[in-house]
Chains A and B, each alone.
Chain A
Amino acid sequence: MFNIRRGAALTLLAGSVVLGSCSAAVTIPTVVCVGEATTYLDWLNGDFKPDTAGTIADPGATTGDLLATVMSRGYITVSTDPDYAPQSSVKPDGTYEGFDIDVATEIATRLGVDVHWETPGWDAITAAGWQGRWDMSVGSMTITTPRKSILDFTQPYYYNPAFLAASTRSKVTKTSDLKFTLPSGATATTLPTDANCAEAIKAGRTEFDLWISSGPTIDAAIAAGTPMVKVGAPVFTEDLSVAFDKSGPDDAALLFKVDQIIGAMHTDGTLTELSKKWYDGADLTVAPAS
């Protein structure tokens, strides 16, 4: 009898401590969720080093390199992360759709080959060392100095503004509502991909209230019913390009060819058309004036 009473008292005490700490956990307004291996994370860590593709030289006639392999094979393998609408998402029949998908398909068509798809995680794509599992990444990758040491980039095919988004329950609607300065005052937390952050907020998780991602991705999340709003002006704009693995087979010729194709797609309006199709009539393919 005595032991049961003591046990019950201890349980009540422990339970009230747990419950008390639960209700005391208010949302911490300095935590920002970002996708792993994204430039948004770099920016929050003060590590964002945007770069340009530089001049891409014509290597002339080559043999036995990546271009030769792709042409003789008749298809090019492109990596995509189908968790990134409206850039890339999967359809019920297992094929993919999205802005990045259309751009990659067009590039392959102009090269004269078919396109095959691979779906590794984003962190595997940005880490290079693709080991020939796929040849090209058309995945809205930002050109940064660290990435340039392991990947080769073409000229940008579009430009994406990165925005801060805040959940409606945090009551943050303007940058001045934040109790800290971005990016130095923020604490970053990561989930495997950007979409997971919106997913968490929509499900009602309380670890974070803020999210940084690309404008169109945030718009898509809000349109799907995620309770959040965009806050303020873009925090930065990124140059997004097609990437090739430096450690793979010699890609100089393929890089040059694809770069030329992208230039042509800019000039003849294909990229603008695709942008308007996927981004609600907005043309994100012109470099922002800055």
Chain B
Amino acid sequence: MTAVPTSGTTAVAGAGVPVPGAPVAPPMPPSTPPRTRAPRHGNRRPVLRGVVIVVLAALAVAFVYPLLWLLSASFKPRGEVFDNRLIPANPTFDNYVTVWQEAPLALWLGNTVLVTVLAAGAVTLSSALVAWGFAHFRFRGRGALFGLVLATMMLPGAVTLIPTFLIWNQLGLVGTNVPLWAGNLFGSAFYIFLLRQFFLSLPREPFEAARLDGANNWVMFWRIAVPLCRPAIILTFLFEAQASWTDLMRPLVYLQDSSTFTIPRGLKALIDQFGPGGESQWEIVVTASVITTLPMILLFFLGQRHFVQGISTTGSKG
């Protein structure tokens, strides 16, 4: 945990931060020290600050603890999974060997990586195209169309679940991984909304200049708009990679054969076999859970800045 850089604080510079060097005009209450670097309310009492940090530290431990518990349990022999020690009394690597023998984990991981990359890649490309269409071009009916995009966000997935299944069934693709990513080729409302916000914030001058140089729309999109909005593009990819990796519902609906499972669907199968109602071999379930979760933790640390910044933006712009 100590490896986490604290750069996040500067990431979302709030509008309330005074510009350094700007004249400090309003008279301060007497006890206040002179403003040097962006004071926030409540920062003036060091004791209070100390208490806050202690409380936060305890909460942070509470939030991270279940993950450490899970990781630790995966190195415990069967009888000790529930002993709630953080450091296993008799650490063993056996669970990882067993789970690898019991389940086609490598296959499941491979399936999941493939689906995740296809789903995230497809949705990023298509949503960026559509978002650019909404952000850059002005035409009648654009507002109404965009309203329709936003309206689809309100639609519960349950309403379209069954007909969508019937489409893929009709195409003979149920049982393959195609239904898990191909729908993403047509963009997704949330990402279209997000990317449009970023595209709208771009200045128009580079595009006017490019147009005079004879660049066509595609070149302007691909060579100028996309590179300028790289953070938003990366963010879209990361968000969808997470959504796709962790998805359970669609693999449940579309995948029947164990060899086609994604890792969450496989984990669910292991819960059924070794968990409640099954053989109560929790060490296997725990170990498979770690294997399912770890890639997401890695993804987070790879794209930490993007995740945090992106979610901050979602709330304020949403």
Query: Are the chains A and B members of one assembly?
Result: no
Binding site for B on A (CB under 8 A): none
Binding site for A on B (CB under 8 A): none
